[in-house]
């Protein structure tokens, strides 16, 4: 894919289809170790050994309409191309964790892309809670810069107003865009 956000969306949709009601999405940009790590952990129905062993096979899918499922195989190919890897761990009834690791500075490493748009659309339309953590750590900083939110907390603060409400969506978009922009500035500062 041209952007990581598209791979991430693929994995989020997999989690939804597995019946997840809560997803933890963590993006770690560690400029000290030159690593980008994307982790999606869900509380869906999970997979057994047999399913896990086929998950990276492009000819394995739970979709009925076609016999090809390329989301994870392509994500893995992208990670491997960037000196990284992708692993999937899961137990039946215990959800699943997908972790993709990339060499952050690798020339073929696609940019994160439009995370804001992807997150807003997902959070608003999916009946699924998300806990999001995006961390950027640089060698010259004492502490990593973090942008974090939890839809469960947001919903509590809204006291019942649905996330689909226009005003809420607009606020959510602004909130996430701001958070992401601050991280982009932190990251860009070290690239000068």
Partner 1 sequence: MKLQEIARQLALEAHTAKGKLDTEVTGGYACDLLSQVMARAQAGNVWVTVQSHVNIVAVASLLNLAGIIVAGGGQSDAATLEKAEQESVAILTTPLTTYTVVGKLFELGVHGVD
> What SS3 class is residue 164?
coil
Which of 77, 146, 154, 168: binder of partner 1 (CB under 8 A)?
A: 77
**173-180 own/partner pairs: CB under 8 Å, 24+ apart:** 173/116, 173/120, 175/149, 176/115, 176/116, 176/119, 176/120, 176/149, 177/116, 179/134, 179/147, 179/149, 180/115, 180/116, 180/134, 180/147
Part in contact with partner 1 (CB under 8 A); list of ranges 63-71, 112-120, 148-156, 168-176: 63-71
Is there binding between residue 74 and partner 1 (CB under 8 A)? yes
Q: In what order do the strands lie in the sheet with 129-137?
A: 85-90, 96-103, 35-42, 22-30, 129-137, 145-150
Residue with smaller CB distance to partner 1, 58 or 117:
58
CA-to-CA distance for 101 and 37, rounded, in angstroms? 4
Q: Which is nearer to partner 1, 70 or 156 (CB)?
A: 70
Q: Which one of 63, 64, 66, 192 is in contact with partner 1 (CB under 8 A)? A: 66
Binding to partner 1 by residue 113, rule CB under 8 A?
Answer: no
CB-nearer residue toward partner 1: 66 or 127? 66
Verify binding: residue 70, partner 1, rule CB under 8 A.
Answer: yes
CA dist 169 and 143 (Å) reads 31
Stretch 3-22 residues interacting with partner 1 (CB under 8 A): 6
Indicate the helix (H) or strand (E) that contains 39. strand 35-42
> Which residue number, 10 or 24, has a Cβ lying nearer to partner 1?
10
Number of residues that bind partner 1 (CB under 8 A): 12
Q: Give whichever of 6 and 18 is closer to partner 1, judged by the CB atom.
A: 6
Contacts with partner 1, residue ranges (CB under 8 A):
1-2, 6, 58-59, 66-68, 70, 73-74, 77
């Amino acid at each position: 894919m041209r952007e990581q956000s598209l791979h991430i969306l693929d994995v989020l949709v997999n989690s939804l289809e597995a019946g997840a009601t809560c997803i933890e999405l963590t993006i770690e940009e560690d400029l000290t170790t030159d690593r980008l790590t994307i982790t999606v952990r869900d509380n869906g129905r999970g997979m057994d050994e047999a399913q896990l062993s086929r998950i990276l096979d492009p000819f394995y899918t739970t979709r009925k309409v076609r016999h090809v499922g390329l989301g994870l195989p392509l994500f893995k190919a992208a990670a491997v191309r960037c000196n990284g890897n992708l692993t999937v761990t899961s137990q039946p009834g215990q959800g699943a964790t997908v972790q993709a690791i990339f060499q952050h500075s690798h020339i073929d490493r696609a940019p994160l892309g439009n995370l804001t748009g992807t997150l807003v659309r997902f959070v608003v339309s999916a009946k699924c809670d998300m806990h999001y953590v995006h961390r950027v750590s640089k060698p010259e900083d004492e502490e990593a810069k973090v942008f974090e939110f939890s839809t469960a907390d947001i919903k509590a603060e809204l006291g019942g107003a649905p996330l689909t409400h226009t005003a809420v969506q607009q606020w959510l978009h602004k909130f996430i865009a701001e958070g992401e922009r601050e991280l982009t500035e932190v990251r860009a500062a070290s690239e000068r």
